[in-house]
Amino acid sequence: MAYDLDFERPLAVLERQISEQEKKVEGAQRRPDRHKPGELDAMAAELANLREKLIQETRSTYAKLSPWERVQVARHKQRPYTRDYIKLMCEEFFELRGDRHYGDDRAIQGGVACLNGRAVVILGHQKGRDTRERMECNFGMAHPEGYRKAMRLMRHAERFHMPVITLIDIAGAAIDLEAEERGISVAIAENLIGMAQLRTPILCVVTGEGGSGGALGISVGDRILMLEHSIYTVASPEAAASILWRDSAFAPNAAETMKITAQDLLERGLIEEIVPEPLGGAHRDLAEMAAILKDTITHNLNELCALPVNELLQARYQRYRAIGESSHALAPAASVS
């Protein structure tokens, strides 16, 4: 996979050098007689050197990504989506469709699955990979029936005492007339109260973009994890910029100021854990990403499933109750008179 993001340009240059060097080495190997002794070894060493350099450069680039750069990674078109994770993590999966009221929203998909031998309900936003799928999924921007299907699946999990795993990756809930007609506000609101009271563990993982109410509608749970380069925000940086800076070009500033990265949010106690990504981002190695996530999910579920459900619910209530209390770490006591 090519390095194709703006801030990856130096890496892309290195990548091109590597590919040229590879061709050189290959050509030389085909006709070793044409080269001086040692020349071939030197060429191979140079190639290895370049490769090592790329790894180092990638590592250092990704170690100090700006929030706006993370936004680019979180939105990468090759980033793994919910269906990828399901396919790569679950031993068995059966999709449950439909809200039993109106339709089957492809922007949120999920079903029952076995994950490391445990029956779970897993669901998440699906942005879609190719054009056809993206259209079908409305680019992951879910409609009311998506949230209602999600709640139906979670009630299903509750009935069968399966834990729920939600994967969040959405720019924002659908903004159109149909969404309003069928009550996108009501659908999200009912999920918030429904998830707060669901009598089974809920583990939420922000895998890409956690965009506003559309993200929150499936991410009320016992623990919120975020992938290393994912973001979670009250409004998209572009939207925030166009209001607070009166120009959407200030999106990078908004991304910085609003504290939307996994690192910012862990620091502020709003999430429980960061899930490391493969070098250069999840999209560079889907299988490794899925393996890491599977391990993370498993150890979290092991802990959550061991708790009596009443304790779980009380802790879940307290988790949210504490956000923005005057005693909260984020609201300095001084400013709350």
Partner 1 sequence: MKDETESALSNVNSNGAHPDGRVKALPQNLAVKCPNCREVLVGKDWEKNFHICSKCGYHFRLSAPERIELLLDEGTFEEFAADLTSGDPLSFVSRSQPYRTKLETERANTGLTEAVVVGRGQIEGMPLVIVVMDFRFIGGSMGTIVGEKITRAIETAADERLPLLICSASGGARMQEGLLSLMQMAKTSAALGHLADVGCPYISLLTDPTTGGVSASFAFLGDVILAEPGALIGFAGPRVIEQAIHQKLPKDTNTADFVRAHGMIDDIVHRRDLRAVLGQLLRIYGQCMEVVTVESSAANE
Tell me which residues touch its own copies (CB under 8 A): 100-102, 144, 148, 182-183, 186, 190
**C-alpha torsion angle, residues 84, 218, 175, 127 (rounded to 10):** 0
> Cα–Cα distance between 57 and 55 in angstroms, integer?
5
By CB neighbour count within 10 A (0-12 exposed, 13-18 middle, 19+ buried), where does 334 fall? exposed
Helix (H, G, I), strand (E, B) or coil at 236: coil
Shortest CB 135 distance to partner 1, Å: 15
Binding partner of residue 71 among partner 1, its own copies, none, CB cut-off 5 to 8 Å per kind? none
- Residue 231 belongs to what H/E stretch? strand 231-233
Reference 195, options 285, 316, 63, 58; nearest CA is 316
> Cα–Cα distance between 216 and 234 in angstroms, integer?
9
The footprint of partner 1 on residues 150-189 (CB under 8 A) is: 156, 159-162, 173, 175-177, 179-186, 188-189
Decide if residue 101 touches partner 1 (CB under 8 A): yes
Residue 298 CB neighbour total at 10 angstroms: 15
In the bound state with partner 1, the residue whose beta carbon lies nearer, of 162 and 292, is 162
Decide if residue 74 touches partner 1 (CB under 8 A): no
Q: Which stretch binds partner 1 (CB under 8 A): 27-35, 64-72, 294-302, 322-330?
A: 322-330
In the bound state with partner 1, the residue whose beta carbon lies nearer, of 84 and 158, is 158
The footprint of partner 1 on residues 299-318 (CB under 8 A) is: 316-317
Shortest CB 259 distance to partner 1, Å: 5
Binding partner of residue 328 among its own copies, partner 1, none, CB cut-off 5 to 8 Å per kind? partner 1
In the bound state with its own copies, the residue whose beta carbon lies nearer, of 188 and 265, is 188
